[in-house]
Structure 1
């Protein structure tokens, strides 16, 4: 097979890149190791920056999102038994949109199927070769048969554990990582959210987050130890602990219900540099991971895709490689700012093991300064709604 761009991974970043390139008249093939149902079964966050919303519109996939998504003009942070609102719209003129990542993926899948563009699910044992030449190759196995794709470029959108980053020689790659000493226990429940906006909670017992996927489906998180298992947490234990961490007003509106999904996610910050080797380009979780505290994972993947899709369109439109050559630097400049913001939010809102009295007082001072300063709130809001790209 021959195509212009081979895309590894059918998560949101791979599908969005494929859709943008298709609309630019660029041939692509998407390979996905898992089945379609498996990909759609992944439960992920869904706070979309305004830039991500506009990019999905550009890809022709924004109709259902615009109809069903929940526009949020602010967030709340609870500390010391009281809640403080950060007015995103008043501070920045921008909002965020709550629309589940699963729904984003579904919309992108349907758009690709409607376009008749090829996507291969359950493409096993994929390997990338010749990426330092002008003719990279991707080989894979499906239904006991071997296939090979020759292409101009490979886009690695296959996540943290995918083959794309692993295909770069170790000596050519530098990684930066911070692993946090706790995880997030999350549940999904078919009950209305307890508030109209997200509530981030700093509590002596640990962090909590009250979020939602729709007007009738809620998503809640609790900070937990890394050695805990989902089986350690019955629904009743989860609700009891969440109530302990909420302020009295929020507790009054909380509706309990049976969980329809429950999982524990470890938290880490990770960046791999460079985001290009030869004619292989990395995007999304293949190149970087952020803790979910700042709602930046999907949005950061979207900004990578924006830079990369425009660079590839420029290459095929004008034969110039200048935009492609600039991609790693442009993408990483925004990546590190998002990594910093996510780290800052995580440091400010979580309880770390064995904190000193100094650490606790610094964290309290950080929050009290935030609540008392419009300039500090503006800095948080600017990052939360998304930096320009």
Structure 2
């Protein structure tokens, strides 16, 4: 097999890249190790930045998002029984976010790809990326019990931290930057309407809590829990009781709605950046290159930024012969990545209570929250980061 761009991974990044290339008349092949049902049901992110929403619309993948997604003009910070709403459009010149689950983004992009895009092979396990520094890099893969080779002009690895793309970059040119966090998130889905019409981020002495949603009838919520926690050790009642404690407020009009929990999972928190994001004609995107703690809602949106940057650079080279943007891919993406890492780290350390936290640490957290809720410049900095950093320097 041969194609212009070989894409490893049919998550939102790989699928969106395939769509962008198809719309521009560039052929591609997408290899995905899992089956379609798995890709369309795996629960991941749910907050789309303004830039991500705009890109999906422009790519022709926004019809259902516009119909079923939930636009949000604000988020709420809650601490010391106080409530503070951050008005996103007022602080950012009109930008906002949309709640629309990653599973739904994938469903939309898969349907488009299968209808009129290039090959999308499910159950196609990428085994290795070879000859990345030549003009014809190759992806060895196994599909339907047979090993095959996809010869490409470019390979884009959207196959996550455990995929083969990242490991194809030689160790002697790789630089890894990591930070672990001494806590995890216990997440639930529940068949109950959300208790608030916007997301609530709560800092509490017992730990962080986040009240979110997947639809007008489905609540998504998270609790900070110790590392190594087993979700099965928490009963539904214990989860709701703990959410009640951490979301407590002096506002008598607010109450937590409870309902049947349909799913539970525990997610460790960590930060990880792989530099560079390009090796020869192999380009890393999304979790293959960087991971952020979910507090800042940046993971999916960073991946979108990566593939948009690649697509624009490739089209610039095709149309003008200018290789500059392709050569600068890693540097361009990493500027945005590190701003997202900074923001996610700041949000995480401001809202989570570390196991060894001291009274001084608690006071610093409160001081940071006080600053955001009393100084417009600090509040605007949060709102600008939350709604999204520019996708590339031209934005």
TM-score range, shorter chain: over 0.9
Task: Supply the distance in 1 between the matched residues of 2:117 and 2:294 (Cα, whole angstroms).
Answer: 34
Q: Structure 2: which 5+ runs fail to align?
A: none
Query: Given that residues 18 and 117 in structure 2 are in contact (C-alpha distance below 8 angstroms), is that contact kept between their aligned partners in structure 1?
Result: no
The correspondence of residues 73-92 of structure 1 with structure 2, limited to 5 A, is: 73-92=73-92
TM-score with structure 1 length normalisation? 0.98
The correspondence of residues 1-389 of structure 1 with structure 2, limited to 5 A, is: 1-92=1-92, 93-248=94-249, 249=251, 252-389=254-391
Q: Structure 1: which 5+ runs fail to align?
A: none
Task: Supply the distance in 1 between the matched residues of 2:104 and 2:252 (Cα, whole angstroms).
Answer: 28
Secondary structure of the residue that 1:151 maps to in structure 2? strand
1:369 CA drift (Å): 1.4
1:171 CA drift (Å): 0.8
1:271-295: per-residue Cα shift (whole Å, max 9, x none)? 0000000100001110000011111
Task: Supply the distance in 1 between the matched residues of 2:378 and 2:109 (Cα, whole angstroms).
Answer: 37
Task: Supply the distance in 1 between the matched residues of 2:153 and 2:252 (Cα, whole angstroms).
Answer: 54
Task: Supply the distance in 2 between the matched residues of 1:40 and 1:370 (Cα, whole angstroms).
Answer: 38
1:251 CA drift (Å): 9.1
Query: Given that residues 202 and 210 in structure 2 are in contact (C-alpha distance below 8 angstroms), is that contact kept between their aligned partners in structure 1?
Result: yes
1:116 CA drift (Å): 4.1
Task: Supply the distance in 2 between the matched residues of 1:163 and 1:86 (Cα, whole angstroms).
Answer: 41
The ranges of structure 1 where at least 4 consecutive aligned residues each deviate by more than 6 angstroms after the TM superposition are none
1:177-201: per-residue Cα shift (whole Å, max 9, x none)? 0010000000011211001110000
Secondary structure of the residue that 2:257 maps to in structure 1? coil
1:40 CA drift (Å): 1.3
Secondary structure of the residue that 1:255 maps to in structure 2? coil
| Number of positions where the alignment pairs a residue of Structure 1 with one of Structure 2 | 389
Task: Supply the distance in 1 between the matched residues of 2:158 and 2:146 (Cα, whole angstroms).
Answer: 24
TM-score with structure 2 length normalisation? 0.96
Q: What root-mean-square deviation, in Å, do the aligned CA atoms of Structure 1 and Structure 2 show?
A: 1.2
